[in-house]
Structures are given as structure tokens and as C-alpha cells.
Amino acid sequence: MNKTEEMDELIQKYQYAKQMLETEIDIMIKEFSYKHHYNPVEHVKSRLKDERSIQEKLDRKHLAHTKKNIINEVEDVVGIRIVCSFLTDVYDIVGMLIQSKNILIKERKDYITNPKETGYSSYHLIVLVPIYLQNKIEYLPAEIQIRTVAMDFWASLDHKIQYKFNDDIPQEVKNKMYDYSLTIKELDKKMLSLNEIVEKYKKKL
């Protein structure tokens, strides 16, 4: 098998992993909605990195373009983003993913409790997804990001600014980004408080 064929086969396996993870998350959300009569998720987005993006990430890490390096060093070839209504929903989803018997948790990154320097907030999970082949099971890594609508808005702007400055962001811009991220954080708290008030009145009906 030449390098092109090997890469094509690996991308196909990642496609299987993506489909497996999408199905697992869809069932998990539906089960939660059925039990609690409430859907905590606004929307789910998924993507598969193309070969060029994978190679660029390896180049940034000064690594050779090998199958082993892709699997071990590029953990977000498969990416899933789960956007929730409220902060409590984020941790409900995280809890369900951690308890899932169909995926393995490799790493947790709680950027909500410990935001990045720019103020970026989100909860990241690196998971290992089983793919069932004809005579064996393989595990491939994937990244799941769980955040609120407000965090998702902020993350989109954060990404665009990072791209404009190629990660070398002036300190003045960093300071402004962090200040505004606190406004986003405060908005999440206010929306959660509003939801708690709404739930209180619903119980009276």
C-alpha cells in the first residue's frame, strides 16, 4: 500500500469514527430529553479535518507526515461541537459523555473554570472512539467541545482574531478580549438565573 492509499484508508476510518460519535451523541441527547422533558442542546456541529489541515498541524509541531504521528499527535481530526443553552447544561452533557460506555475519555480540559489568556471558555474532551472493522476494533481520537451559546459566540470571534494575528496577539488586544470575555461570562450567569426563575414559575403551574 502506497502513502496515498494509506492516507485514504486512514481518513475513511476517521469518517467511521465521526459517524460513530455523532450517533452516540444523538442518542444521548434524545435519551436525556425523554427523561427530563427538556433538550439541553441548541445544536451540534461536526467536522473532519482535510488532509492539508492535518499536514499543516504536523508541520507546526515539526513532525513527519506519518500515520502514527497523525493518530498520536493530531487529536482533533474529528471535531464535534455541542452548543448548550445554559451553563448547567454544559456540565450535564460532560457528565453523560464521561459515563458513556461506548467511548473512552483520554483527557479533560475545563476552560470554563480555567479560561485561556484571551478569556476563551469551553469544556474540551479528548475521547477515543471505537471503530469496528471486519476482524478487529481500532480506537481513534476525537475532540468534543461543549459550550454555551454565549461562549460559542465568543469562541468564533476569538478564532478570527487568533487567525488575523497568527497567534501573536498584541497585549492591548489580549487585554480587551479578556475584559469582554468577562461580559460574556456575566451574561451566562444572568441567563442561568433567568432560567431558574422560569423553572420556579413552571412548577407552580
What's the confidence (pLDDT) of residue 126? 98
Q: Which domain holds residue 39?
A: 3-204
Instruction: Classify strands 137-148 and 78-84 as parallel, antiparallel or unpaired.
Output: parallel
CATH number, domain of 13, equals 3.30.460.10
Q: How far apart are CA 104 and CA 129, in angstroms?
A: 7
Q: How far apart are CA 165 and CA 129, in angstroms?
A: 34
Domain count, the chain: 1
DSSP state of 113: T
pTM, to two decimals: 0.91
Averages of pLDDT over each 10 residues, the chain, 205 residues: 84 96 96 93 96 92 92 95 95 96 95 90 96 91 97 88 76 86 89 84 74
What's the confidence (pLDDT) of residue 202? 76
What's the confidence (pLDDT) of residue 205? 66
Contact of 71 with 106, CB cutoff 8 Å? no
DSSP string, 6-74: HHHHHHHHHHHHHHHHHHHHHHHHHHHHHHHT---EEEEEEEE--HHHHHHHHHHTT----HHHHHHH-
Contact of 125 with 107, CB cutoff 8 Å? yes
Which residue type is seen at 33?
S
What's the confidence (pLDDT) of residue 22? 97
What's the confidence (pLDDT) of residue 167? 64
Contact of 94 with 67, CB cutoff 8 Å? no
